[in-house]
Structure 1
Amino acid sequence: MELTIYLAGQIHDNWRKDFKEKATSLGLPLQFVGPMENHERSDQIGEDILGEQPNQILKDEAASKFNNLRTHVLLNKSDIVIALFGEKYKQWNSAMDAATAVALNKPLILIRPESLHHPLKELSEKSQVTVETMDQAIQALAYIFAEK
């Protein structure tokens, strides 16, 4: 059995690469999907498809339509959603993806530092598991495949 994991969260650093490498090193049968990690492409996709927009608001709205399409399709096809919340970046997309996972009844693993316990308490209560580190989330995935 192979599971598809949607990695929700900010796209400003290499956390997904690190997560994938650690999970792969354990030999877990996982496939990973997620948002467009090329930030410039994500911001530009609306104009790439629809053409130049008259202002920044319409450019953002056009890009959002295509990014939301991608998210909707890949999140729906996923078996588990992992949402990373960190200290450094605003987490609007993580919150939206995690809430969508809850609404779709997708198993959700939240990764968040203890310092974000309070602002994420309701979302944490809706998730199957809340952990503080990527390693703990990977251990949760490994447990799914454990036989003993």
Structure 2
Amino acid sequence: MLMTVYLAGEIHSNWRNELKEKAEALQLPLNFVGPMEDHERSDNIGEEILGPQSTSILKDAAASQINNLRTELLMKKADLVIALFGEKYKQWNTAMDASAAISLGKPLILIRPEALHHPLKELSAKANVTVESVNQALKVLSYVFDN
């Protein structure tokens, strides 16, 4: 059984590649999707498609509409969402994606360091599983496929 996993979270670190490589090494039947990882393209997609916008606010609005459409389509097709909260970057998109997964009834694994326990306590309570590392999330996924 092939399962599709939406990987929500910051796009500045290598956590997605780490998770994908480890899942492949474990031979887990997983297909991964997620947000546009090319930050510059994500920020500029509105102008790429619609042409130059007259203000930075309109540029952001155009890109946001297209990025939100991408997220909604891919997340609706996913069987599971993994949302990673790191400590280095602002995590507004991760919070939005995790909340969307919950609203869509998608199973959610939340990865967050212990230092973020308090600010994420309500979101953790809504997630199916909360862990502190990519390795722990992989162990949860491995368990799903154990006989």
- If the TM-score is normalised by the length of the shorter chain, which range does it land in? over 0.9
Distance 2:89 2:22 in 1: 23
Unpaired runs of 5+ residues, structure 2, are none
Shift of 1:64: 0.2
Residue number in structure 1 paired with 2:52: 52
Offset from partner CA, 1:46-78 (integer Å, 9 cap, x none): 000000000100000000000000000000000
1:124 aligns with 2:124: yes
What is the RMSD of the two structures over their aligned residues, measured on CA atoms? 0.4
Shift of 1:13: 1.6
2: CA distance, partners of 1:60 / 1:74:
21
CA distance in 1, matches of 2:127, 2:43: 29
2: CA distance, partners of 1:60 / 1:98:
21
Q: Which runs of 4+ in 1 moved over 3 A?
A: none
Cα deviation, residue 8, structure 1:
0.1
Query: How far 1:81 sits from its partner (Å)?
Result: 0.2
- Tell me the amino acid that sits aligned with residue 49 of structure 1: I
DSSP 3-state at the match of 2:87: coil
Number of residue pairs the alignment of both structures matches: 147
Matches within 5 A, 1:1-148: 1-147=1-147
Q: In the alignment, residue 59 of structure 1 is paired with which amino acid? A: K
- How much has 1:33 moved relative to structure 2? 0.1
For 2:86 and 2:11, locate their aligned partners in 1 and report how far apart those are by CA, in whole Å: 12
Taking the aligned partners of 1:133 and 1:48, their CA distance within structure 2 comes to: 36
What is the CA distance between 1:26 and its match in structure 2? Answer: 0.2
Question: TM-score, normalised to structure 2's length?
Answer: 0.99
Once the 2 structures are TM-superposed, how far is the Cα of residue 87 of structure 1 from its aligned partner? Answer: 0.6
- Structure 1: which 5+ runs fail to align? none
Provide TM-score, normalisation by structure 1: 0.98
Q: CA deviation at 1:15?
A: 1.1
| Structure 1 residue 21 displacement after superposition | 0.4
